[in-house]
Amino acid sequence: MIIVMAPGQGSQTPGFLEPWLDVDGVREHLGALSDAAGVDLVEHGTRSDADTIRDTEIAQPLIVAASIVTGALLLEGRRNAVGGVAGHSVGEFAAACLAGIMSDIDAIRLVGVRGRAMANEASKVATGMSAVLGADLDVLQTRLSELGLTAANMNGGGQVVVAGELGALATLAEEPVPGTRVIPLQVAGAFHTAFMAGAVDVLREAASTVEPADPTLTIYTNRDGSRVSSGADYVNFLIEQVSSPVRWDLCMDAFVHDGVTGVIELAPAGALVGLAKRGLKGTPTVAVKSPDDLVAAIELLEAS
């Protein structure tokens, strides 16, 4: 059973779309997605610097578009070989597209709305996110409560991403829980926390124009790692997820329960494969960073 995964914010790097523009149809596909998102994806994916693509309203559509485009190339003629799809945070929109819940244009349009709304909320208070490695969650929660921070992403593999005001994150880095390491993330807000509550209403209104279909591939939700059979339910989870925690650890538990035999992470790949190597030890992985990696991913999918 091969799981195809779409990454979330923070996985982007300058120029990562450059090698894909030589693949037939990719430039045109990105152009259509750019129009829907209101973001020049080719420009930002090839020329913009790290600070520019860190901005939430650029990063989110850029990441999701990359997963949509590379996912379309991977799945063409091979949908029956896919055991399931899942996205991490904003990557859930790409997963929804791949599973047939919504079109690529609807997905990227909503991501554009989401990114702008979350950037607006993030501008109100100086907040951010940091990864904490090696923590016992119960012990960490005590420290987070002391600092007014929130466990926003339970990623499994010994990683918890925490979020809140920058001063509190700095204190956690300076005075970490013993035995842990704190790494600031390249995101510009406390996502998946109450700081993003205002963005939920904006996204809900935008999503009211979408008529979701039920998924044609197995799809897992960050809400609790469960399979979702209703497209309408999945879209509702997407909306609520903006201000609620990501339970990627439970997604990986579900993969194991369902008999995962390999995982493929779509562009811009790396983070989820890293988690899989720690949380799904021994499971073959492919991170699709370039067209050459796509060849390896196709081989893994067709061998399943």
Active site residues: 89, 192
32 backbone dihedrals φ, ψ, rounded to 5°? -65, -40
51: how many CB neighbours lie within 10 A of its CB?
Answer: 10
Residue 238 · residue 107 · CB < 8 Å? no
Q: At what angle do helices 166-174 and 137-147 cross, to 10 degrees?
A: 130
Residue 287 · residue 270 · CB < 8 Å? yes
With the CA atoms of 276, 16, 112 and 118 taken in that order, what torsion angle do they form, in degrees rounded to the nearest 10? 60
**Closest by Cα among 103, 134, 286 to 210:** 103
